[in-house]
Amino acid sequence: MCGIIGYLGTREAAPVLMDGLRRLEYRGYDSAGVAVVSPGAEVASVVKCAARVEQLIEQLRTDMPAGSLGVGHTRWATHGKPTVLNAHPHTDCGRRITVVHNGIIENFRELREELEGAGHEFLSDTDTEVVPHLIEHHYRGDFVAATRHALGRLRGAYALVMFSLDEPELLVGARLNAPLVVGLGEGEYFIASDIAAIVAYTKKVLVLGEGEMVVVTSLGPVVTSLDGIPVEPRVLHVDWDVSQAERSGYPHFMLKEIHETPEAAANALRGRLDRQGHVEFTEFEMDDERLRSLEEVRLLGMGTSLHAALAGEHVIEDWAGLAARAQDSSEFRYRRPVLGGNALVVAITQSGETADTIVALRAARATGALGVAVTNVVGSTAARDADGAIYLQAGPEIGVASTKTFVAHLVSLYLLALRLATARRRMSPERCEELAAELRSLPDAVRHLLAGEPEIARLAHRYAGYRNFMYVGRGLAYPVALEGALKLKEISYVHAEGTSGGELKHGPIALLDAEFPVVAVCTASPVREKTVGNVHEVVARGAPVLAVVSEGDRSLEGVASDLLEIPRTGEAASAVLASVALQLFAYHLAVELGRDVDRPRNLAKSVTVE
């Protein structure tokens, strides 16, 4: 997956593209490039580099291409190594058609063979390069018609932005299984992979739908289906500010976003939960009758979202008495899912664009299941593909490792479980009230926890010398342990694994010794005592233990090597607080090791390819 941007307007395009690429870098950062054209120019100025956007910007500073039409790209390689030749933009043989692409053209090999047979010469190893050549191949004096023709032959996933020197008054975008938005300014237009890239210039955004194409001229955008049927554009007003997508003085986005957790939790609850524990979702309103008829809930996600799914599975079964199962979307999509009209499928995806989760959601809905997307991005593919959406309302998350949105996912899934529990009359009014109070107190409890950050940083410093970690938890603390381990490995490159306390004895314990510490999540839970038992087991085997405990809990003093205290609360809120504590622990440990926290190697924020 990559980040793409295009500009057509009255100002110089290059600075706009540079700015947009900087904000899109979280999508991939192994090479970057821009192409800019000025009116009447015979060639486009193309600048590329096999490095991060920062270096491209350095190159551009010394040799800024002039022109008010252009495209830019930051790449996360799929086909072809991260070299200058493989960096986008790509062009046709005549260097008249310029294309940037996010996605994978699955049939590029056969297309390339065909085009090479017809005399086209390719310069790169990318799948993308077939696109400009294919357009060139179909070009009969009408760029839009040729593009439409070419798109009809592509299989796979693409968000494309392109222009032709023969019709430099046009900027064309198209999408299939990859996101693309169009920013509508005053006499200027932007096309980008996401809103954060363009929100500094305009808050009026047109979200291009699946299988749609946009042709932008100085008069504005015209949206059609890929085969040319006019489509009513969906225009949104963005209600967040560019400063929300900047670091505001924090050394890293990740730290800034962890500190935004109290607001993220409050926003996920906002207007949805009353004191009695009644839950209302505006974009996913199902009557009690329908919710009562459900027989099963399937939660689908990847990465951090899969861990949120596991927490959702736990509370839906526990609170609502409804069979629930969390599944890795990439595995689910290649099974023949046994679901039906009485199943609810919950797609958990921060971006709303994770390819595996989207395909899995579609496959689940094809069986007749009801689908809801729990996502941070309004108008994202998952939100549009589902029957309803529960928006996280957490604001943009730029750090590649999910933090505040994991919390917003947990809170949203708690609300969903509570909604199901009340509709199905599985929870007493007293318990509902108690849970509502626990959740409503979360933003303050997180603030309280964040005030203890220096102590967590001190612990991270103490543990930074170890090369392996085992995270252990039970019940709701099990997904917390998995997520704690994922956070650490993602950003510090230190090996970490998560296990349930019960599973520990069935293998993982063999790894433990004085050089292999255990992070044990021993916070409030009906099975807390069992995890305490695990701590004793591993201490007996010489492993150092960092125990996450509720404030004032001294039961592991003198047993665990260190205690990390979180505010004392119920099990559901404790899972959130322990997660935030472990995010901070991973963050400080990674910083201690000098890692590039916001842009960890080999990872990308949004995986829009399989």
Q: Which positions are annotated as active-site residues?
A: 2, 605
Residue 277 and residue 436: Cα distance in Å, rounded?
A: 5
Residue 294 and residue 273: Cα distance in Å, rounded?
A: 22
Beta carbon nearer to ligand G6P, 343 or 607: 607
**Contacting residue, 439, 605, 608, 609, with ligand G6P by CB under 6 A:** 605
Residue 330 engages ligand G6P in binding (rule: CB under 6 A): no
**Contacting residue, 132, 303, 371, 484, with ligand G6P by CB under 6 A:** 303
Residue 404 engages ligand G6P in binding (rule: CB under 6 A): no
Beta carbon nearer to ligand G6P, 402 or 500: 402
> Which of the ranges 105-113, 170-178, 348-356, 536-544 carries the binding residues for ligand G6P, by CB under 6 A?
348-356
Residue 203 and residue 209: Cα distance in Å, rounded?
A: 18
Q: Count residues contacting ligand G6P (CB under 6 A)?
A: 16
The number of angstroms, rounded, from the C-alpha of 120 to the middle of its chain's C-alpha atoms is: 37
Give min distance, CB of 335 to ligand G6P, in A: 19
**Contacting residue, 213, 302, 442, 477, with ligand G6P by CB under 6 A:** 302
> Which of the ranges 67-75, 361-369, 567-575, 601-609 carries the binding residues for ligand G6P, by CB under 6 A?
601-609
- Strand pairing class (562-566; 90-91): unpaired
Residue 354 engages ligand G6P in binding (rule: CB under 6 A): yes
Q: Which two tokens stand for residue 101?
A: 């692409």
**Contacting residue, 304, 393, 525, 569, with ligand G6P by CB under 6 A:** 304
**Contacting residue, 47, 345, 383, 401, with ligand G6P by CB under 6 A:** 401
Residue 193 engages ligand G6P in binding (rule: CB under 6 A): no
Using the CB atoms, write b or e for 6-23: b if 16+ within 10 Å: bbbbeebbbebbbbbbbb
Using the CB atoms, write b or e for 212-231: b if 16+ within 10 Å: bbbbbeeeebebbebeeeee
> Which of the ranges 199-207, 334-342, 351-359, 508-516 carries the binding residues for ligand G6P, by CB under 6 A?
351-359
Residue 411 engages ligand G6P in binding (rule: CB under 6 A): no
**Contacting residue, 412, 499, 606, 608, with ligand G6P by CB under 6 A:** 606
Beta bridge partners of 222: 215
Beta carbon nearer to ligand G6P, 303 or 544: 303
Residue 278 and residue 415: Cα distance in Å, rounded?
A: 9
The residue assigned the tokens 């609360």 is 569
Residue 402 engages ligand G6P in binding (rule: CB under 6 A): yes
**Contacting residue, 34, 176, 213, 400, with ligand G6P by CB under 6 A:** 400
Give min distance, CB of 521 to ligand G6P, in A: 20
**Contacting residue, 233, 502, 603, 610, with ligand G6P by CB under 6 A:** 603
Q: Which helix (DSSP H) or strand (DSSP E) does residue 163 occupy?
A: strand 156-164
Beta bridge partners of 159: 102, 175
> Which of the ranges 47-55, 213-221, 350-358, 383-391 carries the binding residues for ligand G6P, by CB under 6 A?
350-358
Residue 197 and residue 74: Cα distance in Å, rounded?
A: 12
If phi > 0 it is left, if psi is from -120 to 50 it is alpha, else beta; for residue 28 that is left
Q: Dihedral (C-alpha) 52, 17, 490, 591: value to the nearest 10 degrees?
A: 70
Residue 39 and residue 98: Cα distance in Å, rounded?
A: 15
**Contacting residue, 351, 492, 531, 550, with ligand G6P by CB under 6 A:** 351
> Which of the ranges 89-97, 216-224, 396-404, 457-465 carries the binding residues for ligand G6P, by CB under 6 A?
396-404
C-alpha separations of 498 from 481, 518, 572 in Å: 5, 10, 19
Residue 552 and residue 538: Cα distance in Å, rounded?
A: 23
Give min distance, CB of 12 to ligand G6P, in A: 33
> Which of the ranges 90-98, 278-286, 298-306, 591-599 carries the binding residues for ligand G6P, by CB under 6 A?
298-306
Binding site for ligand G6P (CB under 6 A): 302-305, 349-351, 354, 357, 400-402, 603, 605-607
